[in-house]
A and B are shown apart, each in its own frame.
Chain A
Amino acid sequence: MNMLYPPPAPALLKSILTANNYKCRARDFVSDFYYRFKNHPDWIKIDNWNALANFNDEKIESVIAGEVESWANELVECDSEWIGVSIFSYESHKIGRLLAEKIKTLDHRQKVFFGGAGITNVTTPYAETLLEQGFIDAYISGEGEEAILQLAQNNFNFPGINNKNFVKVDKKIIDQLPTPDYSDYNLSLYGKENLGVYRNLEKQANLNIETQNTLPITGSKGCVRKCSYCDVPFLWPKFTHRGGLQVAEEIIEKSKKHGVQKFHFTDSLVNGSMKEFRLLCDALAKYRIDKKKEITWTGQFIFRPNQQHTKEDWELIAKSGASVLEVGLESASDEIRFAMGKKFTNDDIEYELSNCQKHKITTFPLMIVGYPTETEKHFKEYEHFLERFHIYAHDKTIMSLELGGTLRIQPNTPDDTNLPKVGVEMIPMPDGSREDLLWYNVNNPTLTLSKRMWRRFTVGKIAKKLGFVIPADEKDLRYLWSKWNQLKDVEAEWLDERKN
């Protein structure tokens, strides 16, 4: 949970519903949650209650339940036909269920539906169970742009409503969609504190980024890569861009309307189409120079091999206002990175980072420690990798590092299909369910859950000594500690049975 920008999904759905003559109001309870509890003496526990399935402190639960009940009251009093809840990830599962329970307790006739990535790309049948138990009346998987209008017309046969057979939204429809309507949000609450990985920006005055509001922006859906661990190509099989000029126009229009100068791309990558990306950057650069505006943007970006980003490209990217690029480097080892489908080397990284450095663009590399084929030899490459690139951490070309929570093998990813062919097995939970973190590679048998976590925090220690900042380190620590306690015995029993 962070407060970098307001949630775009409800704002977009509001604008779609409004354009189709339905009344809709968007509420952000993440913001309520944060401002209600941020100074609470038990804030860390309250914050972590959401993410840690096996942390159920009664005192904390009672505090949260009181707040959720007030949200339910507010929603029920709206007397609306439907209450829709956007579930962003598994971290919203506990609180989402609690909210549905409270709504149904207050008024069992009130219709509730859930949607979002947190019900679509999860292994557990979260929404299915809530529907079966009667806590919700419907759910929408996949994208909701078309489905929400069908739900509003009580058409439960539309793909993705009450099932996972969602279909990709057509590009023609995406192009015709209205832009998100943020009018229900108090935008002054965002982009100032609790910025997650962007929190360091607050402290880095030399980056010339003020604590001002941020708005999300979406230029494309899908990805041009098929990285082994990622389910984006399953969700959006074809990369679709709205058009660089159109996206630039939206940024400029939103900036004028809301007085906002910081934008964050929600895209899987901003530079999937170099043609559209150059058009976008060019239009933004011209606007910034002609109008003397300080618009800046952040977003996910892919490093490319063989200097495909020319020196002119980097100059244009800088002029367009790029401030932070989130980049999936994934591994210190070229071999492992290539196995993941990332086709660039450490030398390519050096080229891209040196250009970022030259143009004062900062980066936020994302890594996955403990890939199933990662051996001791690959692991040792981390030390050299971190030493090689630590100079970029010192001048903040690398703003911070995300080391993550080791590899989860998610359904609908190339890893899920291909890793079993090289000896990787999922270890079933005692109730037969699947846990994405719990797997075993018969051809790399010492890379157990404990070993993967050990490597993750050992790399973290080395990185921090060399001056890298890891903003999510404490959160990762609590999460993995919780998961380790939950899973270690399951793994040990499974290995024992296998041995016998």
Chain B
Amino acid sequence: MREKIKIKLKLHQNKSKGPSFKIFCDNVLLCEKINCKFDQYENTFDVELEKGKHSIRIQHFGKSPKDTDSTNKLDVAVQLDTLSFNSIRCSSIDLHQNYFYTSDWPYPVPKKIKDNLYFGFNGEYEYRFDTPSTAYVLSQIKKYKKEMPQLDRMDITEDEFLSILESHIKIELKSH
């Protein structure tokens, strides 16, 4: 089945260098950018995928710790802004639930990082999904939707509600 995958990245650069990154769907390279000097990158990929499990990987590479310019508050990094499947945008919470796996870094850093879409180390962010992707994204949105307190019963009578309200008003008068 054809799936349209749209990726929007924010790109961070210092005075002389922009980030380098590759985007894969499963093991197929969709795009590669070296020393990218734009503020953002946006592209839509039309891919053929079998029904089942797949992944999108965003690989950030070629950065050295010295690329971070603390004095001028500049950094070389890739930040995932939005990921959409067939025009439906993934839930931000869902994106944060997937891991960034660090690699090729001279100092000790965690092997994997969650809850962060700012990819400041070298490594790879992986978003796993199922196809048909629209149904998958919708189910993830539903899963992470902020739920308000649920109404457990609807069969209230007027007298019952009035009595509940009267008790509540008494408590309010005491406490406020």
A104 to B138, CA, bound (A): 10
* Contact assessment for B138 and A454 in the assembled complex, using a CB-CB cutoff below 8 Å: no
A451 is an interface residue with CB less than 8 A from chain B: yes
Binding-face segment, B30-38, B69-77, B80-88, B94-102: B80-88
CB closest residue in chain A, given B168: A450
* Contact assessment for A133 and B134 in the assembled complex, using a CB-CB cutoff below 8 Å: no
Out of B4, B141, B149, which one reaches A486, CB within 8 Å? B149
A246 to B88, CA, bound (A): 46
Within the complex, what minimum Cβ distance (angstroms) separates B27 from chain A? Answer: 25
Q: Could you say which of A450, A453, A486 has the most chain B C-beta atoms within 10 Å of its C-beta? A: A450
* Contact assessment for A485 and B151 in the assembled complex, using a CB-CB cutoff below 8 Å: yes
B135 is an interface residue with CB less than 8 A from chain A: yes
DSSP class of A's interface residues: helix, strand, loop or mixed?
A: helix
A375 is an interface residue with CB less than 8 A from chain B: no
* Contact assessment for B161 and A105 in the assembled complex, using a CB-CB cutoff below 8 Å: no
A52 to B149, CA, bound (A): 12
* Contact assessment for B168 and A485 in the assembled complex, using a CB-CB cutoff below 8 Å: no
Assign chain B's interface to a size class: 20 to 34
* Contact assessment for B148 and A104 in the assembled complex, using a CB-CB cutoff below 8 Å: no
* Contact assessment for B89 and A132 in the assembled complex, using a CB-CB cutoff below 8 Å: yes
B162 is an interface residue with CB less than 8 A from chain A: yes
* Contact assessment for A56 and B162 in the assembled complex, using a CB-CB cutoff below 8 Å: no
Instruction: State which residues 435-454 of A face B: CB under 8 Å.
Output: 445-446, 448, 450-451, 453-454
A168 is an interface residue with CB less than 8 A from chain B: no
* Contact assessment for A450 and B156 in the assembled complex, using a CB-CB cutoff below 8 Å: no
Specify which chain A residues have a CB less than 8 angstroms from the CB of B48 in the assembled complex. none
Out of B86, B135, B161, which one reaches A457, CB within 8 Å? B161
A24 is an interface residue with CB less than 8 A from chain B: no
* Contact assessment for A108 and B150 in the assembled complex, using a CB-CB cutoff below 8 Å: no
* Contact assessment for B169 and A108 in the assembled complex, using a CB-CB cutoff below 8 Å: no
- Interface 0/1 of A453-494, CB less than 8 Å to B: 110011011000000000001000110111011101100100
Instruction: State which residues 107-136 of A face B: CB under 8 Å.
Output: 108, 132-135
Instruction: State which residues 130-176 of B face A: CB under 8 Å.
Output: 132, 134-135, 138, 141, 146-151, 154, 156-158, 161-162, 165-166, 168-169, 172-173, 175-176
Q: A residues touching B (Cβ–Cβ < 8 Å)?
A: 44-45, 48, 52-56, 101, 104-105, 108, 132-135, 137, 431, 445-446, 448, 450-451, 453-454, 457-458, 460-461, 473, 477-478, 480-482, 484-486, 488-489, 492, 495-496, 499
* Contact assessment for A104 and B161 in the assembled complex, using a CB-CB cutoff below 8 Å: no
Specify which chain A residues have a CB less than 8 angstroms from the CB of B173 in the assembled complex. 446
A58 to B176, CA, bound (A): 39
* Contact assessment for B169 and A450 in the assembled complex, using a CB-CB cutoff below 8 Å: yes
A109 to B145, CA, bound (A): 25
Out of A105, A454, A461, A481, which one reaches B156, CB within 8 Å? A481
CB closest residue in chain A, given B170: A450
Specify which chain A residues have a CB less than 8 angstroms from the CB of B86 in the assembled complex. 104, 108, 134
Within the complex, what minimum Cβ distance (angstroms) separates A314 from chain B? Answer: 36
Out of B132, B148, B165, B176, which one reaches A454, CB within 8 Å? B165
* Contact assessment for B150 and A55 in the assembled complex, using a CB-CB cutoff below 8 Å: yes
Out of B134, B172, B176, which one reaches A105, CB within 8 Å? B134
CB closest residue in chain A, given B146: A431
A101 to B88, CA, bound (A): 9
Specify which chain A residues have a CB less than 8 angstroms from the CB of B4 in the assembled complex. 108
Other A-B pairs beyond A445-B176, A486-B148, 10, CB < 8 Å: A56-B150, A105-B135, A448-B169, A453-B165, A454-B162, A458-B162, A477-B156, A481-B161, A484-B161, A486-B149
Within the complex, what minimum Cβ distance (angstroms) separates B142 from chain A? Answer: 9
A26 to B175, CA, bound (A): 55
Specify which chain B residues have a CB less than 8 angstroms from the CB of A473 in the assembled complex. 158
A133 to B162, CA, bound (A): 41
11 A-B contact pairs sorted by A residue (CB < 8 Å): A55-B150, A445-B176, A450-B169, A451-B169, A454-B166, A473-B158, A486-B149, A486-B151, A488-B168, A492-B175, A495-B176
**Closest 7 pairs (CB-CB, A-B):** A108-B86, A134-B87, A454-B165, A134-B88, A450-B168, A55-B151, A133-B89
* Contact assessment for B149 and A55 in the assembled complex, using a CB-CB cutoff below 8 Å: no
Instruction: State which residues 55-78 of B face A: CB under 8 Å.
Output: none
Specify which chain A residues have a CB less than 8 angstroms from the CB of B134 in the assembled complex. 104-105, 108
A473 to B162, CA, bound (A): 13
* Contact assessment for B154 and A48 in the assembled complex, using a CB-CB cutoff below 8 Å: yes
The answer to whether residues A44 and B169 also contact, given A54-B148, A477-B161, A481-B161 and a CB cut-off of 8 A, is: no
